[in-house]
A and B are shown apart, each in its own frame.
Chain A
Amino acid sequence: MSETQEWTTVIKPKDKLWSVDIKELWKYRDLATLFVKRDIITQYKQTILGPMWFFLQPIITVFMYMVVFGGIAGIATDGIPQPLFYLSGTCIWQYFSDCLNKTSNTFVSNSGLFGKVYFPRLIVPMANVTSNLLRFGIQLSLFIVVYIIYSIIGCDASVNWYALLFPLLVVMMAGLSLGFGIIISSMTTKYRDLQILFSFIVHLWMYATPIVYPLSLVKGKIVAGFDMYTIMRLNPVTPVIETFKYGVLGAGEFIGWGWLAYSFVFMLILLVLGVVIFNKTQKSFMDTV
């Protein structure tokens, strides 16, 4: 029958494992931009300082790091001025953890909306990752301002060609947080415990990533028979952070293309896995949430 071909919507119980409708996502691109706009507009509504928080957060954080890690603990910063060193790490880590925390709540926090109307659910975490870019950009500009000030004063930090990898690094951070986030969000629809657990893990994760200390510090350190240097680099976020720090500040040494490639492949596998799990969940989550 020719009639059957005219159907524009066919709803069936089960779909293929990989069923991302790229065309559909593209069709809803306006929704994605509006979600981004919503996130940005509403983030600091009804606050006195408004977007100033974009600056205050990293400044206060860096100040605390300087007191605790730089001052009290006396951890070296690869010869880079402390504010610059901490700021570079915080900016990029903040982006990662913000995205992760936000996307990992996708199903639970949007269940009201998801229960009423259909649109490709993947739009929401993708918009999250995008809207956080703005905040990241603003914080990065703070970093640049501080950088310029230090350049005038004079310091050891210097930009090199690896800084050109920056766009790739941002994509990787976005991809990693999106991948982890959608997997977590799929799992938390059934057990809310995991939500608490994961926000806790993200918190601790920062200390397993060279943010408040340089990677060079762990070189040769053996803890309980494990080579911490290798373990640290297995953390897919480490190569990204280290490459950024090296490229922009010239801190430490380049982690190596191999590790960067490892991190990139890790991200790709994570994304594919995440999308498969996410799609499986979006079909049935209204029944379990």
Chain B
Amino acid sequence: MATAIEFNNVSKQYRLGLVSTKTLSHDLQRWWAMNIMGKEDPYLKIGSENDRATKADSEYVWALKDIDFKVEQGDVIGIIGRNGAGKSTLLKLLSKVTGPTTGTIRARGRIGSLLEVGTGFHPEMTGRENIFLNGAILGMTKAEISRKLDEIVDFSGCERYIDTPVKRYSSGMTVRLGFAVAAFLEPEILVVDEVLAVGDAEFQKKAIGKMQNVSQGEGRTVLFVSHNMASIRQLCQNGILLKNGRIEYMGTATDTVATYLSGFGDTMCYHADITMEHREYSDTSREIELLSVSLSNNGDDYATDQPLDLYVRMFKHKKNIQSATLEVMFNNRMRERLGSYISGPIDLTGVDGEFTVHVRIENHNFAKGTYSICFQIGQKDIQLGLKDYDIVHNVLFFTVAYSHMQKKDSIVLWRNDWGSTVFQGTAEIVQAK
């Protein structure tokens, strides 16, 4: 199959600080304040509202940065991400509404974008007239629209009102009409932005069915932006997760949605003070309580061959505990258990109260990706019996990255025996009171 869309290192930059204030007088005031009076820009706040937290001090913001991907023909790609992640900017670039700052976008075939509710509709014109106008805006010829008119009207379910001005339509009807026109546009590439949110259930079903037909039956490519994870999963084969203008994850739609939902794609977490939220089972005795956990390198991604250093701060409440076993469990982004490290019995005889254990895990061979860590402190001694003092789940999140930063997830370095893997490492008390 041929490539339908290709994004090649595409970036889009918006200038924040000096966004026009829209009137000459404001700009003159700014010029006066900044250059003559030496004050701060009085209108800077207007721009910085759009700002991302990470670049608060910068005049420029990258709405998209180094976007690089290919879409195969006939593929339905779901694009997800938080508000402001760059989803709409990406579609805007593709539909030529605004130009990229760097990079090239190539596409094969006509690109049709699905307008938001009734954009391009003129309220004073009838449904029929608007079908023609809307179709032409989307790039159809008059003849094409005439040929499909009956189908469009039928699909929209607005036959009765087709000669009524659109301003008399309900918002649902307007959306249906708009979607119907776009659905029969038959572009090779269809760009859909968050339209299925409106319309009744029956119409949504219809629309989803149509989109599936479009991609499967007719081999067309669909880019679909939505916050509705269910429809992403239902409609799309593959997904792209955007975060702060970068591609955070790319894979099957199900995986992408899972990544997004699990919050893995959002924040890495290298240090956590344990709260009750981390404990799935609150009925543990907590004779030894986990206080805080942290990964040694602050904020940096790990390399595959780099050992992991973990510091676990705990508090021993019961004096007579002689030893305990610490288990560190690793989950993938789907929160599936990959393996764990189990320390030997750690001698706690000389410990009273707070202490910290340093765990070093070597040769973990994690593939590029995001992982979470769970901790468990307890007794694993057969003779003393199994006992859990405290368990916390998914408290730390970290990323393993190759030095050569491959764009796609590779499974080259996956170990075949995942699931039964026991990590090798050391555990020692480094600090005790």
Interface residues of A (CB under 8 A from B): 3-4, 6-14, 27-28, 30-31, 33-35, 37-38, 41-42, 45-46, 112-119, 190-194, 283-284, 286-288
Say how far A21's CB is from chain B's closest CB, in angstroms. 12
CB atoms of A286 and B115 under 8 A apart: no
Given A30-B141, A113-B120, A119-B139: A38 in contact with B99 (beta carbons within 8 A): no
Q: How far is the CA of A116 from the CA of B101 in the complex (A)?
A: 19
CB atoms of A118 and B104 under 8 A apart: no
Q: How far is the CA of A34 from the CA of B102 in the complex (A)?
A: 35
Provide the main secondary structure of the chain A interface. helix
Q: How far is the CA of A8 from the CA of B105 in the complex (A)?
A: 11
Interface residues of B (CB under 8 A from A): 2-3, 14-15, 19-20, 22-25, 27, 92-111, 113, 115-116, 119-120, 122, 124-125, 129, 132-133, 136-142, 165
CB atoms of B106 and A9 under 8 A apart: yes
Say how far A88's CB is from chain B's closest CB, in angstroms. 33
CB atoms of A117 and B95 under 8 A apart: yes
Say how far A52's CB is from chain B's closest CB, in angstroms. 18
CB atoms of B125 and A117 under 8 A apart: no
Q: Which residues of B contact A190 (CB under 8 A)?
A: 20, 22
> Of all chain A residues, which has the CB nearest B27?
A191
Taking a contact as CB atoms closer than 8 A, the residue among A10, A37, A117 that contacts B106 in the complex is A10
CB atoms of A8 and B122 under 8 A apart: no
CB atoms of B113 and A116 under 8 A apart: yes
Q: How far is the CA of A176 from the CA of B23 in the complex (A)?
A: 27
> Of all chain A residues, which has the CB nearest B7?
A11
Instruction: Output the residue of A34, A194, A284 with the most chain B CB within 10 A.
Output: A34
Instruction: Output the residue of B99, B101, B115, B116 with the most chain A CB within 10 A.
Output: B99
Q: Which residues of A contact B98 (CB under 8 A)?
A: 283-284, 286-287
CB atoms of A117 and B14 under 8 A apart: no
A sample of 12 more A-B contacts (CB under 8 A), given A286-B97, A287-B98, is A8-B107, A9-B108, A27-B139, A30-B140, A31-B136, A42-B122, A42-B125, A190-B22, A191-B22, A193-B25, A284-B98, A287-B14
Q: How far is the CA of A119 from the CA of B125 in the complex (A)?
A: 21
CB atoms of B138 and A13 under 8 A apart: no
CB atoms of B142 and A30 under 8 A apart: yes
List 21 A-B residue pairs with CB atoms under 8 Å apart, sorted by A's residue number.
A3-B3, A4-B106, A8-B110, A9-B108, A10-B105, A11-B93, A11-B106, A11-B107, A14-B99, A33-B142, A34-B136, A37-B129, A41-B129, A45-B165, A113-B119, A116-B115, A116-B120, A117-B97, A119-B139, A190-B22, A193-B23
Q: How far is the CA of A113 from the CA of B119 in the complex (A)?
A: 6
CB atoms of A191 and B24 under 8 A apart: yes
Taking a contact as CB atoms closer than 8 A, the residue among A9, A30, A41, A191 that contacts B136 in the complex is A30
CB atoms of A9 and B133 under 8 A apart: no
What are the nearest 3 A-B pairs in CB distance? A118-B96, A31-B136, A11-B105
Q: Which residues of B contact A7 (CB under 8 A)?
A: 106-108
CB atoms of A34 and B142 under 8 A apart: yes
Say how far A186's CB is from chain B's closest CB, in angstroms. 13
Say how far B234's CB is from chain A's closest CB, in angstroms. 25
CB atoms of A13 and B102 under 8 A apart: yes
> Of all chain A residues, which has the CB nearest B11?
A13
Given A13-B99, A286-B97: A41 in contact with B23 (beta carbons within 8 A): no
Taking a contact as CB atoms closer than 8 A, the residue among A8, A11, A31, A46 that contacts B96 in the complex is A11
Given A28-B136, A34-B136, A286-B92: A117 in contact with B108 (beta carbons within 8 A): no
Q: Which residues of B contact A287 (CB under 8 A)?
A: 14-15, 98
Q: Which residues of A contact B109 (CB under 8 A)?
A: 8-9
Q: Which residues of B contact A38 (CB under 8 A)?
A: 122, 125, 129, 133
> Of all chain A residues, which has the CB nearest B119?
A116
> Of all chain A residues, which has the CB nearest B107?
A9
Q: Which residues of A contact B103 (CB under 8 A)?
A: 13
